[in-house]
Amino acid sequence: MRGYKTTSTTTAALALTAALLAAATACAHGPVGTTPVEGRAPGKEARAPFTLVATGDILPHDSVIAQAKLDAGGDGHDFRPMLAGVKPVISGADLAICHMETVYGPAGGPYTGYPSFVSPPELAAAARATGYDSCSTASNHTLDAGFPGVSRTLDALDAAGVAHTGSARTPAEARRPAMLEAGGATVAQLAYTYGTNGIPAPPDQPWAVNITDPERIVEDARRARRAGADIVVVSLHWGTEWQDAPDATQRRLARELTASRSAGAPDVDLILGTHAHVPQAYEKVNGTWVVYGMGDQIAGRMINHAGARDPRGNQGTIARFTFTPPARDSARWRVTKAEYLPQLMDHDGAGPPRVVDLDAEMADGEAPERYRSVRDRISDVVLSRGAGDDGLITPR
């Protein structure tokens, strides 16, 4: 049985808002510090190691929307069959995080793919059915349908029981991370995007989407700690599209965020990257794991900037990290196992397009030979910055 517990939306909102206000008041009277273990709220489960998985961009193009309609048998849209191949890994983790790159349209449509994405709201239920507990919602497409699109998306995720962070319906929600529970730890997820394709935030809702600002990210991480978070995970929509290697901005921001410390301990425990459409490297920076880019999880046949179909745009990884409770001489949880699982949105098989766990498919000995070359290419990219030397493995 999964060991996660997502906090009730209404209760969490009231409790966390009160905690944030109290923490802000306390901060005015003294330095920021880490949350002491003995100060944990009563009633939390006993501390134990837990696994956190994360995946890349969910980006439904027109062809993907059409397939989901077929999979629903004429009644709405069903994205669950597309994700069935990775459900064992996602639902088997204690916490699972997705990246919802697009916003939702009204029930019944209309829905659109590139360049301005408006997706069926059934995506939220599919995410939950697959095992996702929380999704980042800050991307360059967050404002494709204006503020109504933001509201519809978060309403649908709430209805499905999926936590979210990165976009907001109110100023208070914009400052509130997703707060999750696993292994007796409180995990805060924060999310930000480099921009919104030139679409300005509505004048009355400038807080509708979180824009990347290193100072704000550190401030938000410290605020989450004061509100009770034991672990802070930052989801970043960043990087250069179609570039396998992390760009200078990614590397600089990764160094800055992982170097930030309070009371000698890191403010950020894990960085999860999206946006580039292709898998990018994993790297340990200042002792903290950074996934520069997990690639797309759901997308149509991808066309690159040169106008050519680029199969890399349907490749990705599932990141999996095992967090272990603090040792006697520490108040902080730590990553004791780091893994990546190559995955593929397969458009070239005999059946309809599906997300494939490449290792699982190849284990039965009947997978297409092309899966091996795809998996090897993904591994070459993921390990290109020395992550293997720091212990990153794939469970083949």
Q: Apex CA 362: angle with CA 360 and CA 365, to 5°?
A: 125
Q: Are 141 and 198 in contact (CB under 8 A)?
A: no
In a domain, 12, yes or no: no
pLDDT tens-place string over residues 200-235? 999 999 999 999 999 999 999 999 999 999 999 999
Q: How far apart are CA 311 and CA 318, in angstroms?
A: 18
Q: How far apart are CA 107 and CA 122, in angstroms?
A: 9
What residue type is 364 in one-letter code?
D
In a domain, 330, yes or no: yes
Q: Apex CA 56: angle with CA 50 and CA 60, to 5°?
A: 135
In a domain, 226, yes or no: yes
pTM for the structure as a whole: 0.89
Domain span at residue 176 reads: 18-23+44-61+163-393
Structure tokens belonging to residue 61: 């193009």
pLDDT tens-place string over residues 333-369? 999 999 999 999 999 999 999 999 999 999 877 889 9
Packing angle, helices 214-226 and 248-259, rounded to 10: 30
85 — phi, psi (to 5°)?
-70, -25
Confidence of residue 329 (pLDDT cuts 50, 70, 90): low
Q: Are 33 and 23 in contact (CB under 8 A)?
A: no
In a domain, 157, yes or no: no
In a domain, 194, yes or no: yes
Q: How many domains does the chain have?
A: 1
Q: How far apart are CA 193 and CA 274, in angstroms?
A: 9
The percent of residues in the chain predicted with pLDDT above 90, rounded, is 84
pLDDT tens-place string over residues 43-71? 456 899 999 999 999 999 999 999 999 99
Q: Does residue 18 have a pLDDT over 60?
A: no
H or E segment at 318?
A: strand 315-324
In a domain, 109, yes or no: no
In a domain, 77, yes or no: no
In a domain, 34, yes or no: no
**Neighbouring residues of 29: CB distance < 8 A, sequence distance ≥ 6:** none
